[in-house]
Structure 1
């Protein structure tokens, strides 16, 4: 006969034995002690946090022959039957295999009958979100007006899939993940009861890997104990579960600090060859950056909030002192943001390697605000520029003296350069290359720059002038628009007057503006049609009604009436 697993052997049989969920336990225990259970409960939360377990304990407490009491006695026949799953008054239904409306209709018929031995008939529906919409609708009336002897308990990991009408008819309790301390204490209790020696770091590792789920942690504990070795050891936990140790993370941080790409590449290959869990590896790596940030910024007090042995805290404190706080913070953020893309990549190993290289070269990244590039002569390629900066066999300079790394034996020493000196040198070059303010040259290009600066309330004028070719002859500016609509735009909305003002102020003398169409120059307002087109009254009407002129005719052109 197969031996029951740790999860089944150590399933709690009363409220006091349940790890965590103190608030919910107190409410349910009080309801059982006063014999006033609700007609419907909804327990929601992640897997392995005690939803089904508390449902069974509540069903025992309200049907206990020695009750009503806040705890079941676990000695009477009713408690024993419910513990074995053989009670005729407690039905545990798997919603995944009873999703149809016909199953719910049959359930409604059965709950109408009185309980056979206990005080209440309890229906526990596990993974209740698997019920169909029709099944939920069929259950509504029973939940709203249930028989006095019936209690419904629905457990789910996806409460968002429940109709609002169902949730409103239940007492909804959200089960939280267990804290690190609660889960650690529970695992230690199990190991002490089993008589197994253990290393505290191994239990801490199982606790972190369990992520607040009792069932997951117990399953992993049973998996490690199946090795048959004496006691629970940290090395066994890491080997069985495929987890990286703290020494590996310390070596990883040292390689990042040294910008040793070869060692980082070898470490990625090691992770892949050992089959380590990349998801948990990235989770622990983010935890390392977080620990270093706290130790670097929080001082001695920060060591008290970390769940690490004192010797490991000192190692990480020393490592944190080798990085700048900005680098630690950026590394922490980079790991968190890269985790999803790495795990979803077709080549997670290459994606992980790229992230590690980016972390190694974080100090080389210069803020855009502090970047002062050297002017590059025309015809000179980027490769030529790089050869001038870093000639063969020369010294490669870093732009930040805050991150000095020791070179490996046989390699040229890395020389750093103060970033402030680099920035000052860029500012000096900027002072040498003085730029003339726009609009100082008295030519057509200078006039265009002048218009852009002084026509911010009418940028259309500057855009239209840019589409004109021009010639300047003494006191005459001849414009030749590329298209007819450009000429029309320049003659609308009082722009001709503004153009005369701009030419006078720029050239320092009164200029005559002439529009040329083809070979013959056409002086502004030379024809009556143009006078009519640019009449102030006509312009106001066109602006007010967003209109355009279709045709212009003289009064004597009208037909006789």
Structure 2
């Protein structure tokens, strides 16, 4: 006698028997009970979550002899014929093999006939995304104005391939993955009906391996039971399905905690030699790292939320204190990021070994961005690795925006540093350079503090009025003021008698615009940043030429001339001569053609080809 698989033997025959999908079941059951049926339904979701099963149950509920009702009786001839697949009014069509426009036309001709035995003609099109575009187009009119007592049910795993014109004509229901607990309960019910003994850990393992698919869980259970035995055990499930055992993970985490590369490399080779499912191994590794991190942070109070057995809880509680929380957090993040890459890598075993070694050596790995002479901003993974190793944050290029962000971080993490607030604010308002040392006799100006790669904040954060007090924030200065020299005029006054000063910052127009944006956000006087960004700049230490894009921009820039000069001084650019160059008036197409034709490089081309310029637009 042919063996009938568990998935076929225990296929649900009523809405109540379907695992999960409560919303979809409730809507369709009520539609059948009230006889308020739509012309077309679209059921989408991943494999094995009940799309075709619910479509069949819905077809039985519509054609049952006791209809309308919320459930089919499964006893009448109509229900039995649909269950056997022999009902004349319920057709299951494979979209992969009936995907041409001719098949759609033949189906459209069949639709015109009234139901012969049941109350409704139901067409269940499985894998409907395989239909061609022409076949979809042939069904458009039929779906919009179908004959009475005709229902279409499309089932698909790739709804993104459906034309929007089809989706808009259907009631669309999205089937969700089943949770691990829901799959566990369903598998336990099946095993109880089979009268088989089992371990909870084995069922939980199969449910986790199925990744939300009921059909996958039933197939994996069938595969495990094929090994035989009086009882379903976790060791049996791991052997049959190629999964790593609990003791392997315990040894792995002991090696990670001790930074034992030999043990980690040996376990990597063992995983490859045993044919362990590497994709599921990385998933389990990520789950165990999550468990350790939560136990390390919350302790035993987290145990009721993790769903662990008593032995597993004791094991992970003993391992968690051997790691720092930052190490576990960074390892968890790296594992999640590497999960897809390992599975798709041509050498998954080598990729897994590299990941495990990185996790073991994570506290002592040094990112390249931390080496001297580099200025690239650190990535999130690098920051996590540095935190795990106890190293300070990596330095970043001290543009005004980066300096502001650094000041925010320093201010939020060290409230005790706020004692120097008033002095720092006064220094910024006066934008005066640090006074020269009293013992210094040189007249040369002192070098300005470096703002690139220094790791210090050159200005306070946006909206923050509390710079660190233990070190004076470097303020862009003009020239080193001698003790007997009068102080410069305050920022924003725009007085003409301010001393001319050499710039002490790079003449970067984009950086200056960002500086003005930061100043404006902090509530200090500043020219409008959006106005500055609409002008091109030609900047030298002696002169700043601005080229507005339009006449209105030129007018607004003239109004803000004093503010621009004051911002240049406070930025540290000295006092360059500011020139606003008005934009050229718009020219007609004839003027553009004449200008282009007069260019020397065009003369030979035009004379050689005997050509003329018919159309010209401004670039």
SS of alignment partner, residue 185 of structure 1: helix
- Mapped partners of 1:108, 1:400: distance in 2: 70
- Mapped partners of 2:16, 2:47: distance in 1: 20
SS of alignment partner, residue 329 of structure 1: helix
Partner of 1:257: 257
- Mapped partners of 1:452, 1:91: distance in 2: 88
Partner of 1:528: none
SS of alignment partner, residue 266 of structure 2: helix
- Asked if the contact 2:122–2:153 (Cα under 8 Å) also holds between the matched residues in 1, the reply is yes
Partner of 2:348: 348
Deviation >3 Å, runs of 4+: 365-369, 398-401, 436-447, 449-461, 489-494, 542-546
- Mapped partners of 1:491, 1:221: distance in 2: 81
Partner of 2:303: 303
Residues 440 and 8 of structure 1, relative CA distance in 2, 3 Å threshold: farther
How far 1:136 moved relative to its partner? 0.9
- Mapped partners of 2:167, 2:541: distance in 1: 69
How far 1:346 moved relative to its partner? 2.6
Partner of 2:574: none
Partner of 1:207: 207
Partner of 1:194: 194
Residues 400 and 176 of structure 1, relative CA distance in 2, 3 Å threshold: closer
- Asked if the contact 1:43–1:155 (Cα under 8 Å) also holds between the matched residues in 2, the reply is yes
SS of alignment partner, residue 155 of structure 1: strand
Q: Which runs of 5 or more structure 2 residues have no equivalent in the other structure?
A: 373-387, 392-434, 451-476, 481-500, 509-539, 546-576, 585-619
- Mapped partners of 2:389, 2:209: distance in 1: 41
SS of alignment partner, residue 20 of structure 2: coil
Partner of 1:413: none
- Asked if the contact 2:362–2:389 (Cα under 8 Å) also holds between the matched residues in 1, the reply is no
- Mapped partners of 1:280, 1:437: distance in 2: 66
Aligned Cα root-mean-square deviation (Å): 3.4
1:243 aligns with 2:290: no
Partner of 1:115: 115
- Mapped partners of 2:311, 2:296: distance in 1: 16
Partner of 1:552: none
How far 1:179 moved relative to its partner? 1.4
1:425-481 CA distance string (max 9 Å, x none): xxxxxxxxxxx999997689989x9989953499669xxxxxxxxxxxxxxxxxxxx
- Asked if the contact 1:6–1:219 (Cα under 8 Å) also holds between the matched residues in 2, the reply is yes
Partner of 1:507: none
User: Which is further off, 300-309 or 106-115?
Assistant: 300-309
Partner of 2:156: 156
How far 1:400 moved relative to its partner? 6.3
Partner of 1:408: none
Structural mapping, 1:363-512, within 5 Å: 363-365=363-365, 454-456=501-503
Partner of 2:321: 321
Residues 62 and 492 of structure 1, relative CA distance in 2, 3 Å threshold: closer
Residues 106 and 320 of structure 1, relative CA distance in 2, 3 Å threshold: same
1:59 aligns with 2:59: yes
How far 1:108 moved relative to its partner? 0.6
How far 1:29 moved relative to its partner? 1.1
- Mapped partners of 1:230, 1:216: distance in 2: 23
Partner of 1:5: 5
Partner of 2:40: 40
1:134 aligns with 2:181: no
Structural mapping, 1:17-32, within 5 Å: 17-32=17-32
Aligned length: 419
- Mapped partners of 2:36, 2:544: distance in 1: 83
Partner of 2:266: 266
- Mapped partners of 2:436, 2:356: distance in 1: 47
- Asked if the contact 1:290–1:332 (Cα under 8 Å) also holds between the matched residues in 2, the reply is yes
Partner of 1:93: 93
SS of alignment partner, residue 321 of structure 1: helix
Q: Which runs of 5 or more structure 1 residues have no equivalent in the other structure?
A: 374-397, 402-435, 462-488, 495-535, 547-561
- Asked if the contact 1:364–1:400 (Cα under 8 Å) also holds between the matched residues in 2, the reply is no
- Asked if the contact 1:42–1:172 (Cα under 8 Å) also holds between the matched residues in 2, the reply is yes
Residues 239 and 492 of structure 1, relative CA distance in 2, 3 Å threshold: closer
- Mapped partners of 1:282, 1:167: distance in 2: 37
Partner of 1:361: 361
Partner of 2:284: 284
Partner of 1:165: 165
Residues 225 and 73 of structure 1, relative CA distance in 2, 3 Å threshold: same
SS of alignment partner, residue 197 of structure 2: coil
- Mapped partners of 2:299, 2:306: distance in 1: 12
Q: TM-score, normalised by structure 2?
A: 0.63
1:221 aligns with 2:221: yes
Structural mapping, 1:66-77, within 5 Å: 66-77=66-77
SS of alignment partner, residue 302 of structure 2: helix
- Asked if the contact 1:440–1:446 (Cα under 8 Å) also holds between the matched residues in 2, the reply is no
- Mapped partners of 2:366, 2:313: distance in 1: 31
- Mapped partners of 1:241, 1:440: distance in 2: 82
- Mapped partners of 2:99, 2:318: distance in 1: 58
